[in-house]
Structure 1
Amino acid sequence: MPPHTDAPDGDVHVFPRYLASTTGTGNPALDPLLQIGWDFHHDDLCNAFVTAPDHKVRLGYLPEGEDDGLWRITAYKDPFGPPVWGVCFNDFCPTEFVTAFTTALAEAYQQGPNRYLAGLGTTDKVPDPLPVITPLLARGWRIDHPHRDAFAVQSPDDLATLSYATGDLDPEAELATRETRWELWAGPPDRPYWYATASTNTPTVLLEAVTECISDPAPLPRWREETYSYVEGKAQLMPIRPPAPSPLDVQRAAIRRPATRPAASVPRWSTTSRPATGTRR
Structure 2
Amino acid sequence: MPSHTLDGDVYVTPLYLAGSTTVGDPAMQPLLDHGCMAHSDELANVYVSSPDQHVRLGFLPEVTDNTLWKVAAHSDPFGPPDWLATFDSNTPTELVTAFTSALATTYAKDPDAALTGPGRPAEEGFRPLEDAGWKRGSWQLTTLFTAPDEIAGLTYRGGVLDRHAELRGDQDRWLLWGGRDGFSSRWYATFTSSVPVDLIAATTARLADPAPVLRYEIEVPKRNRGAAQIRPVSPPVPTPLDVRRAAAARARSHVGHLVRRAPAASATTGSPSAVPPTRLAHRRRAAAARS
Distance apart, 1:136 and its partner CA: 0.9
Distance apart, 1:232 and its partner CA: 2.9
Q: Which runs of 5+ in 1 are unaligned?
A: 259-275
Partner of 1:200: 193
The answer on whether the counterparts of 1:41 and 1:49 sit within 8 Å (CA) in structure 2 is: yes
1:164 aligns with 2:156: yes
Describe the shift of the 1:234–1:111 C-alpha distance in structure 2 as closer, same or farther (beyond 3 A). Answer: same
Distance apart, 1:103 and its partner CA: 0.6
The percent identity for this pair of structures is 41
What CA distance in whole angstroms lies between the structure 1 residues aligned with 2:243 and 2:88? Answer: 52
Partner of 2:55: 57
Greater alpha carbon shift after TM alignment, 20-29 vs 179-188: 179-188
Describe the shift of the 1:256–1:104 C-alpha distance in structure 2 as closer, same or farther (beyond 3 A). Answer: closer
Q: Quick check: which one's helix share is greater?
A: 2
Distance apart, 1:176 and its partner CA: 2.0
Q: Which runs of 5+ in 2 are unaligned?
A: 245-253, 259-271, 275-291
Structure label with greater radius of gyration: 1
1:131 is matched by which residue type in structure 2?
E
1:138 aligns with 2:131: yes
Map of 1:58-207 to 2, 5 A cutoff? Answer: 58-119=56-117, 128-145=121-138, 147-177=139-169, 179-187=171-179, 193-207=186-200
What CA distance in whole angstroms lies between the structure 1 residues aligned with 2:48 and 2:242? Answer: 49
Distance apart, 1:242 and its partner CA: 3.1
The answer on whether the counterparts of 2:70 and 2:85 sit within 8 Å (CA) in structure 1 is: yes
The answer on whether the counterparts of 2:16 and 2:179 sit within 8 Å (CA) in structure 1 is: no
2:222 is matched by which residue type in structure 1?
S
What CA distance in whole angstroms lies between the structure 2 residues aligned with 1:190 and 1:47? Answer: 25
What CA distance in whole angstroms lies between the structure 2 residues aligned with 1:24 and 1:68? Answer: 12
2:125 is matched by which residue type in structure 1?
V
Q: 1:40 aligns with which of 38, 41, 65?
A: 38
The two structures have a TM-score, normalised by structure 1, of 0.81
* DSSP-derived class of the 1:179 partner: coil
Partner of 1:268: none
2:166 is matched by which residue type in structure 1?
E
Describe the shift of the 1:53–1:217 C-alpha distance in structure 2 as closer, same or farther (beyond 3 A). Answer: same
The aligned length equals 249
What CA distance in whole angstroms lies between the structure 2 residues aligned with 1:119 and 1:150? Answer: 20
The answer on whether the counterparts of 1:42 and 1:49 sit within 8 Å (CA) in structure 2 is: yes
The answer on whether the counterparts of 2:180 and 2:224 sit within 8 Å (CA) in structure 1 is: no
The answer on whether the counterparts of 1:14 and 1:235 sit within 8 Å (CA) in structure 2 is: yes
What CA distance in whole angstroms lies between the structure 1 residues aligned with 2:243 and 2:58? Answer: 53
What CA distance in whole angstroms lies between the structure 2 residues aligned with 1:159 and 1:53? Answer: 40
What CA distance in whole angstroms lies between the structure 2 residues aligned with 1:85 and 1:189? Answer: 28
Distance apart, 1:225 and its partner CA: 1.9
Distance apart, 1:149 and its partner CA: 2.1
What CA distance in whole angstroms lies between the structure 2 residues aligned with 1:118 and 1:189? Answer: 35
1:184 is matched by which residue type in structure 2?
L
The answer on whether the counterparts of 1:178 and 1:197 sit within 8 Å (CA) in structure 2 is: no
What CA distance in whole angstroms lies between the structure 2 residues aligned with 1:257 and 1:92? Answer: 41
The two structures have a TM-score, normalised by structure 2, of 0.79
**1:126-159 CA distances to partner (integer Å, 9 max, x unpaired)?**
x6211111111111112111x2021111111111
Map of 1:179-258 to 2, 5 A cutoff? Answer: 179-187=171-179, 193-242=186-235, 253=240
**1:231-256 CA distances to partner (integer Å, 9 max, x unpaired)?**
132112111113568xxx7xxx4x99
The answer on whether the counterparts of 1:108 and 1:115 sit within 8 Å (CA) in structure 2 is: yes
Distance apart, 1:179 and its partner CA: 1.8
Distance apart, 1:45 and its partner CA: 0.3
